[in-house]
Amino acid sequence: MKNLSLILVLVTMVAISCTNKSGTEKSNPFLAEFDTPFQVPPFDKIDTTHFIPAFKAGIEQEKAEIEAIINNPEEPNFENTIVPFDQTGEILRRARVFYTLNGANTNPALQRIARELSPLMSAHYNEINMNQQLFQKIKAVYDKREELGLDQEQLRVVEKYYQDFERNGAALPEEQREELKKINEELSMLSLRFGENELAETNDFKLVIDNEEDLVGLPEGVITGAVEAAKQHDMEGKWVFTLHKPSWIPFITYSPKRELREKIYKAMYNRGNNNNDHDNKDIIKQTIKLRDRKAELLGFDNYAEYVIANNMAKTPENVYDFLLKVWNPALEVAKSERDAMQKIINKEGGNFDLESWDWWYYAEKLRKQKYNLDEEELKPYFSLDNVREGIFHVSNKLYGLQFEERTDIPVYHEEVKTYEVKEADGSHLAILYIDSHPRPGKGGGAWCGAMRSGAYVDGEKVYPIVYIVTNFTRPTGDKPALLTFDETLTFFHEFGHALHNFFADGHYRRTSRDVPRDYVELPSQIMEHWAAEPEVLKEYAKHYETGEAIPDELIEKIKNSGHFNQGFATVEYVAAALLDMDWHTTENTDQIDVNKFEENAMDNIGLIDEIIPRYKSTYFGHIFDGGYSAGYYVYLWAEQLDSDAFNAFKESGDLFNQELAAKFRKYCLAENSLGDGMEQYLKFRGQEPSIDALLENRGLK
């Protein structure tokens, strides 16, 4: 039966082809191993017509592989059940590069494909996750796991797969399984629509300035960027500001034109809330109701309880308790920051109270007043190339990594750069793509992912293919891309995720990079600490024109202002995290007014009017179009870990302590599959972290 099934799959694969516009036949590159350096995706040969046939062929392949497992007459064991299931779906793994493209370089054709794929893939995974015969096979191995002589990792693989099936409803009665399948399919489509709406709302707004006097106060680089944006939108002779962060944030930080600050800021926070074709309120209401019903079917009181049961925090109550311990001191600091800015307004003769669209502008004034620090004074030392080399330097000093730029690797956009990552001994470790600048087809924010995860197949190492996507300011005129210090920290952050992908060394796909959601930000956030250390800054923060290292005076200003505006930063973040928790613990999902719900949630915690949540509901992509539903709190939770972990290096007297770096790589990154998050952390640190390190790190204690 197994051989017959695989033959049928091969026949299907051979039969599937794509036709280009001229009508000529063209083979589908996803149906065989990529014939490229390091087997990276052949972007130069991939056409949009390839994706649907490839996914359909992949579905048929995986179905046949699962049928072979089910129909194996031998008694289920690790080798004939768990291992083959772990290896299923090779075509789908290759085809999933589609999701990389749809996030970083989408277009109407890809979005149409995404809408077709969403129900197709949801139905496929529902069929697998609720397959009773497969579940019984895995359950049989799980029930006798202690008798099979499995090693620690193999035991964990069995337990994880069994838990996956349980949490996906395989143990439910048939009627409830069918209901859950429909819920999953609907949620998949809702998530897709939410993201499309958010992107459309971001791209649709333009603040067009045709009076040069309205540019007063804006740095030269910001103005040049607005000129370039105007050219891209066929508005030469004008200046265009958009809702991409490198555009709107500098505008509200430096423009004294209060009415214009208000206009662009309100456009930013009203995305998805304009009662038009891209409105997300109904999507939110449907999503919350479906998630609540899903949790109920699976035996949980609410969706947050379902999600967090698998995290380090374990319960929603623990999350609320943790967040409020940070919220209370942060809110007091934020109020004092507000009062200091109101004093500036009053002193200048401003006849108004500080509003949320004023905060960034007056915070910048306050920073100059308190620390004599101007962000524009820093930017010449943080060119994109220098920051990247700084990250490579830190990675080399900690782990011995080497980075070689490659020009022979196909890319999905001309701006993408590629690197081969090598171990200290020169052996291959990974391929890294870096995609740095905003464009209309790219989602907002920054993220790191893997086109291919590291794993082992038949004992042979499969090396990861990793990508970092950001939306950093573009080069303008004769200036290179110059980053703010916050953007610099973002780059270090995302590279920490890349390191996790490089180093993860589980022998099975299920556990290769398996950590709780509230642990996953530890590898990224710890990297941020090195970015601001004086000895590290001296290595990479060099003036783009003179090549001179950043002077001690500026380093001291960065250090002194390290806790500046942390009340605001912490409050806006925690407000969003609490909003996320409220959405996923609400008991009344039938009658929801999205704006009223959000307003009540913020009133309940005493959020001051001058600050809004970092993400308002209608563009909160992390929780409605991402993997952070009932989990946006995890960044702060992980900060307990990263603050404590970095202290280990500081306490040793050596920021690049080789022994500590080796332990961190081994226990927290490479072998994360061998224990729960805290178990692995304790192997590295020998102690549990406390919230004190977090509060001190943010200047809240």
Check whether residue 452 and residue 360 sit in a common domain.
no
Q: Does residue 167 sit in the same domain as residue 296?
A: no
* Contacts of residue 396, Cβ cutoff 8 Å, sequence gap at least 6: 402
- Cβ atoms 428, 531 nearer than 8 A: no
Does residue 11 surpass a pLDDT of 60? no
Contact 92, 55 (CB under 8 A): yes
Radius of gyration of the chain (CA): 26
Q: Which domain holds residue 110?
A: 2-129+131-171
pLDDT at res. 612? 98
Q: Is 187 domain-assigned?
A: no
What are the C-alpha distances in Å from 468 to residues 32, 112, 174, 540? 26, 25, 42, 20
Which amino acids are annotated catalytic? 494
Residue 643 to residue 698: CA distance in whole angstroms: 10
Q: Is residue 190 part of a domain?
A: no
**288 and 431 co-located in one domain:** no
pLDDT at 671 over 70: yes
Is 69 inside a domain boundary?
yes
In a domain, 178, yes or no: no
- Considering the domain architecture, whether residues 262 and 296 belong to the same structural domain is answered as no
Position 448 scores a pLDDT of 97
Residue 184 is assigned to a structural domain of this protein: no
**Could you tell me if 528 and 671 lie in one domain?**
yes
For residues 679 and 681, what is the distance between their CA atoms, to the nearest angstrom?
5
Q: Is residue 223 part of a domain?
A: yes
| Of 464 and 375, the one with more pLDDT | 464
Are 385 and 474 part of one and the same domain? yes
Give pLDDT tens digits for 307-363: 999 999 999 999 999 999 999 999 999 999 999 999 999 999 999 999 999 999 999
pLDDT of 200-219, one tens digit each? 999 999 999 999 999 999 99
Q: 212 and 250: one domain?
A: yes
Residue 39 pLDDT more than 50?
A: yes
| Strand duo 428-435 + 465-469: pairing | parallel
Please say which residue of 269, 296, 324 terminates a domain. 269
In a domain, 183, yes or no: no
Domain count, the chain: 4
Q: Judge if pTM exceeds 0.95.
A: no
Quick check: helix, strand or coil at residue 443? coil
Q: Are residues 505 and 585 in the same domain?
A: no
**Are both 293 and 319 inside the same structural domain?**
yes
Tell me if 584 is assigned to some domain.
Answer: yes
Report the pLDDT value the prediction gives residue 155, as an integer from 0 to 100.
96
Q: In the listed set 632, 659, 680, which residue is the last one of a domain according to the structure? A: 632
Residue 687 CB neighbour total at 10 angstroms:
10
Do 607 and 572 share a structural domain? yes
Nearest to 68 by CA among 83, 52, 56, 53: 83
Q: Which residues contact 88 (CB under 8 A, 6 or more apart)?
A: 61, 62, 65, 66
Q: Measured between alpha carbons, how far is residue 372 from residues 186, 357, 399, 488 in Å?
A: 53, 23, 37, 20
483: left (phi over 0), alpha (psi -120 to 50) or beta: beta
Write the Ramachandran bin of 437: left for phi over 0, alpha for psi from -120 to 50, otherwise beta.
Answer: beta
- Looking at the structure, tell me whether residues 473 and 621 fall in a common domain: no
Please state, for a pLDDT cut of 70, what percent of the chain lies above it: 96
At residue 3, the pLDDT reads 38
Last residue of a domain, one of 595, 612, 632: 632
The CATH number that applies at residue 16 is 1.10.1370.40
Average pLDDT, rounded, for the chain:
94
**Both 261 and 326 in a single domain?**
no
